[in-house]
Structure 1
Amino acid sequence: MSIVSTKKLTSKQKLWLAAIKIPVYSVSIIPIIVGSSAAFENISTFNFRIFTTFLISSILIIAWINVSNDIFDADTGIDKNKAHSIVNLTKNKSLIFWLSNIFLILGIVGIILISWWQKDLTVLCIVTVCCILGYSYQGPPFRLGYKGLGEIICFITFGPMAVSASYYSQVQHFSIISLASGILIGISTSIILFCSHFHQIEDDFSAGKRSPIVFLGTELGSIVLTIITVLLMFLVLLFPILKILSFWTFLSLLSFPIAYQLVCHVLKYHNQASNVKNSKFIAIKFHFFNGILLSVSLILSKLV
């Protein structure tokens, strides 16, 4: 009897770990690190109080997005077969709704603090627009993610806008360096979302969600993923050549083996849901290391 209970507990713990989506929080952490590193490259100073406040706020906001998305997906029925949906696990959608709102409020309070310290509303305005776009992804009546626009929203919010907001929070002006860095991070973030569609194409189709993979099919989708990944690596080469970013940016090429692993994995298993679902985690790994290497390159361009 105790053995069965232990197995059940272990299984539920795994579902909760999947529901919390800890690896996904790298999409909130990396833009802040990259933007702050770009600011350091520009002025050689670093405001740790603003950085930590922005980092915590970003984590809280992504928690709001993740939790609220489970609520919105429960409304459409797209998550009916998703055992690790927070709504399915708790059976209490109202509680999860208010919890998600608390995350959002606390995250915005942190951004308000930054704006108050700076006597400047720019960062608050950027983050507010990001939150509106984040809501439009799954929230009614927009549900733009159901119309295949999720990757574009991810690119804008977690790329140029998030990186530029982090950069501005340190130096209170904008730069081509933060924009170029944001483009690189935005593409790698969109790759994560793109990969998450392969294994759930049937559920997406039945719920009327026109994700890119529903529109393209898994085979063509795997080819598009290859093209996007090659484009990202090309930009890593191009930006230093054009002197938009320093030659230290070539360090980001060290993430190429992970990119290669991702592309090969999806090309091989694109139509095998049980195997291709791991591609999202490979994409997260690529996003994380690519972002960290970009941050290191920005810091080294000032120190060396």
Structure 2
Amino acid sequence: MDFLISFKYIALGDIIILLTFGPITVVYSYMAQAGHYSIYPIFYALPLTLNTEAILHSNNTRDMKHDKSVGILTLSILLGKQYSYYLYCILIYSPYIIIIYIMINISWYCFLPLLTIIYAYRLCEEFKYDQLIKLPNRTALLNFLFGFLYILSIIITNIIQKEQQFLF
């Protein structure tokens, strides 16, 4: 008898990805490099963590019918199409709220990721109108563009500002 259970089959895949690509990886990487714990890296990583979860969520929503037929239970299946759309939009737009917070509290030079918001809007529209085939790939592209501009804005901020500031 095999007792191995995939987290995807019990609707825990999203939570595992959210934790793994967010707090767990970031905190341990920071601790290995800095030699101590800090909450700041989690907050800075949160925008990209949410985008990564949006990739998974769009993939799971696209595959809902197949997954359900083979006994897989994902968050998308539990939520249904309409609420999956709402969650996707929350995952897509929340990083921009965090960026605005960073702009206000750290540096206006961190505005660069905001340049991708029109693309994010288009992705939510694709989801809304059930154009899901390429949505995971297009969401991954958003994550790449957002991440590149986010890193660039942090580099620019560190070059221009003399002293490092934190969010809290």
TM-score norm. by structure 2 comes to 0.82
In 2, Cα distance between equivalents of 1:192 and 1:152: 13
Q: Does 1:240 align with 2:96?
A: no
Code of the residue aligned with 2:30 in structure 1: it is Y
Instruction: Tell me which residue corresponds to 2:71.
Output: 208
Partner-residue secondary structure (3-state), 1:277: coil
Deviation track 1:215-264 (CA, whole Å, cap 9, x = no partner) reads 122232112211232222212212333x3x54332221112122112111
Residue 140 of structure 2: which of 257, 260, 284 is its match?
Answer: 284
Deviation track 1:45-64 (CA, whole Å, cap 9, x = no partner) reads xxxxxxxxxxxxxxxxxxxx
Instruction: Tell me which residue corresponds to 2:87.
Output: 224
Code of the residue aligned with 1:209 in structure 2: it is I
Code of the residue aligned with 2:127 in structure 1: it is V
Instruction: Tell me which residue corresponds to 2:166.
Output: none
In 2, Cα distance between equivalents of 1:284 and 1:254: 16
Count of paired positions: 158
Code of the residue aligned with 1:300 in structure 2: it is I
1:282, distance to aligned residue in structure 2 (A):
1.0
User: Can you give the 5+ residue segments of structure 1 that lack an aligned partner in the other structure?
Assistant: 1-139, 270-274
Moved over 4 A (4+): none
In 1, Cα distance between equivalents of 2:71 and 2:39: 39
Code of the residue aligned with 2:129 in structure 1: it is K
* Structure 1 contact 248–301 (Cα < 8 Å) conserved: yes
Partner-residue secondary structure (3-state), 1:197: helix
* Structure 1 contact 225–263 (Cα < 8 Å) conserved: yes
1:163, distance to aligned residue in structure 2 (A):
2.8
Instruction: Tell me which residue corresponds to 1:71.
Output: none
In 1, Cα distance between equivalents of 2:30 and 2:110: 17
* Structure 1 contact 159–184 (Cα < 8 Å) conserved: no
In 2, Cα distance between equivalents of 1:251 and 1:185: 14
Partner-residue secondary structure (3-state), 1:276: coil
Q: Does 1:148 align with 2:11?
A: yes
Instruction: Tell me which residue corresponds to 1:250.
Output: 111
In 1, Cα distance between equivalents of 2:94 and 2:109: 19
User: Can you give the 5+ residue segments of structure 2 that lack an aligned partner in the other structure?
Assistant: 161-168
* Structure 1 contact 161–182 (Cα < 8 Å) conserved: no
Instruction: Tell me which residue corresponds to 2:155.
Output: 299
Partner-residue secondary structure (3-state), 2:73: coil
* Structure 2 contact 68–77 (Cα < 8 Å) conserved: yes
Code of the residue aligned with 1:197 in structure 2: it is N
In 2, Cα distance between equivalents of 1:301 and 1:170: 21
Distance 1:260 1:240, change over 3 A: same
* Structure 1 contact 164–182 (Cα < 8 Å) conserved: no
Code of the residue aligned with 1:263 in structure 2: it is C
In 2, Cα distance between equivalents of 1:174 and 1:298: 21
Residue 23 of structure 2: which of 160, 180, 189 is its match?
Answer: 160
In 2, Cα distance between equivalents of 1:197 and 1:224: 12
* Structure 1 contact 159–182 (Cα < 8 Å) conserved: yes
Distance 1:264 1:255, change over 3 A: same
Instruction: Tell me which residue corresponds to 1:75.
Output: none
Pairing 1:1-304 to 2, within 5 Å after superposition: 141-241=4-104, 243=105, 245-269=106-130, 275-304=131-160
Distance 1:224 1:238, change over 3 A: same
Over aligned residue pairs, what C-alpha RMSD do you find?
2.0
Instruction: Tell me which residue corresponds to 2:165.
Output: none
Larger radius of gyration: 1
